[in-house]
Structure 1
Amino acid sequence: MATGTKPIQLYSLATPNGQKIGIALEEFGLEYDAHLIDISKDVQFEDWFKKINPNSKIPALVDREPNGDDKQPISIFESGAILIYLADKTNKFLAPVGTRQRYETIEWLMWQMGGVGPMFGQANHFHKAAKEQIEYAKKRYLDESKRLLKVLDTQLGKTGSYVSGSDYTIADMAIFPWVAFFTKNYKDQLNDESYSNIDKWLNIIGERPQVKKGLKVCSKDA
């Protein structure tokens, strides 16, 4: 098991799912050690990693200095759960319990987890990785990805700069890497669609110094 000296240990890879947490740790200003998990070498299936994440996926995180009376280290898996945990730990980028703003942010975080991640991921698989060219699958997931982009574009047209309202939140951190990846790599397939609000949002989020740094965390090229 890879360990370091900082309070937080991140085990991840710079895929869109992993980049969420790299961005978050930079935005929250937390001290952390980053450990690259090479999923192409099946590191995620090793016993030490499965103790942190029994689902054998990245990202996963261990906080050796959690809040509260119980000072025992806590491990968190699932990127959405990690984002909520870090927001609650720092009281940043997520409104307090009981407020409308909190649940609107969580709505859009779950929208990313349940829709954008799976659909964009499947579209990418069938267009770029699948050994068989299955036209039905390629069209099915690309069409659903376009629909989700239109949902986001419409929402941003209502809210302005950020996904869940006037403030930058963990929802933006979660959605940004996926949309940045997909709109960059599927320009040809999206050239018949207009997502002007998304384009403005990508520029705003992408210019944040913490985002630029966070995207490179646990990168094989770093």
Structure 2
Amino acid sequence: MDEVPVEKRPKYGLNIYGAIAVNPYKLTILCEEIGIRYHYIIVDHSNGEQKSPWFTKINPNGRLPAIVHVKDDGSSVSLWESAACLMYIASEFDQEHHVSYPTGSEEYWQMIAWLSWQISGQGPMMGQACHFLRYATESVPYGLKRYTAECRRLYHVLDVHLSSSPFVAGSRLTIADISIYIWALSAKWCGVDIEEFPAAKAWLDALSQRPSFQRGLNVPAPYPFTDLKVSNPKRAAFYRLVEKKGTKSVQKDTDKWAKNAGML
């Protein structure tokens, strides 16, 4: 990683590459919950740094978060995609299974099922709903309706499950809860009313009271997309700016790849 800027080179231990975006907060919450030290390295996605050659050596997909674990013997492991990072951190640092279960147990596979539900359903659907609500360059009513409805269906699934279980996988908090939590915390930003799903709302509120979650939500800066913050009229100008910048960024990326495919 010779081309990595000096201040962004991984240090000994666990390094989290992130920014003020939804998925990186999963990792800081996890690290705070299990009480491990980590180095947080900000990648400036406002200027496209996540697409730079040095970062795509860490994450070929050019997205956040990513991790680099520099081990005692000097070797290192680089990983990307939030679920893979969560699983790795739990495997390496959660030997007592504070937020996981022994590999192969029934509870372990339930945890993996809900983690898969999050990365294949909840996250992508909420991301698309958010796109059509906040960042689309033109009004697409069907797109907004389609993805918001699918989000509501997914939250109904979660709500029914949590009505008879304190956590999504067994009797304890796991990385699956953490992965689902940060998107549920962002429901209003994505066009979903979490109050419609009382069991999911109670679960969300209980997790939000955990000191570890509160600490994780403040790295590298206070998480800005909670329902409470999004609903605050005093912050309206800030969110209009976020939407404007987001729309510009999405349009630039879309045009680039459409042009390369001969569509423009």
Q: Structure 1-normalised TM-score?
A: 0.90
Equivalences for residues 61-100 of structure 1 within 5 A: 61-65=67-71, 72-90=75-93, 91=95, 92=97, 93-100=99-106
Partner SS, residue 63 of structure 1: strand
| Offset at residue 220 of structure 1 (A) | 7.7
Instruction: Give a deviation string over 1:146-177, Cα, whole Å, max 9, x none.
Output: 00111110110121x21112110000110000
Contact kept, 8 Å, 1:3 with 1:9, in 2: the verdict is: no
Structure 1 distance, partners of 2:120, 2:137, is 26
Equivalences for residues 92-171 of structure 1 within 5 A: 92=97, 93-159=99-165, 161-171=166-176
Percent of counterpart pairs with the same letter?
35
Contact kept, 8 Å, 1:6 with 1:32, in 2: the verdict is: no
Contact kept, 8 Å, 1:13 with 1:36, in 2: the verdict is: yes
Which residue of 187, 197, 200 maps to 1:195?
Answer: 197
Larger RCO, structures 1/2 (Cα 8 Å, 6+ apart): 1
Change (3 A) 1:210 1:221: closer
Change (3 A) 1:135 1:221: closer
Structure 2 distance, partners of 1:200, 1:54, is 38
Change (3 A) 1:221 1:203: closer
Partner SS, residue 11 of structure 1: strand
Which residue of 22, 31, 41 maps to 2:47?
Answer: 41
Q: How many residues align?
A: 215
| Offset at residue 5 of structure 1 (A) | 4.2
Structure 2 distance, partners of 1:117, 1:219, is 21
Structure 2 distance, partners of 1:14, 1:175, is 17
| Offset at residue 102 of structure 1 (A) | 0.3
Structure 2 distance, partners of 1:43, 1:122, is 23
Partner residue, 1:185:
189
Partner residue, 2:209:
207
| Offset at residue 39 of structure 1 (A) | 1.4
Change (3 A) 1:172 1:220: closer
Structure 2 distance, partners of 1:14, 1:103, is 31
Change (3 A) 1:94 1:71: farther
Change (3 A) 1:220 1:167: closer
- Provide structure 2 residue ranges, at least 5 long, that are not aligned to the other structure: 225-264
Contact kept, 8 Å, 1:6 with 1:31, in 2: the verdict is: no
Instruction: Give a deviation string over 1:35-73, Cα, whole Å, max 9, x none.
Output: 11121210001111111101100000000027xxx7511
Partner SS, residue 181 of structure 1: coil
| Offset at residue 219 of structure 1 (A) | 3.0
Instruction: Give a deviation string over 1:88-129, Cα, whole Å, max 9, x none.
Output: 112231111120000000100010000011000000010011
Change (3 A) 1:211 1:220: closer
Larger CA deviation: 120-129 vs 57-66 = 57-66
Partner residue, 2:250:
none
Contact kept, 8 Å, 2:22 with 2:183, in 1: the verdict is: yes
- Provide structure 1 residue ranges, at least 5 long, that are not aligned to the other structure: none
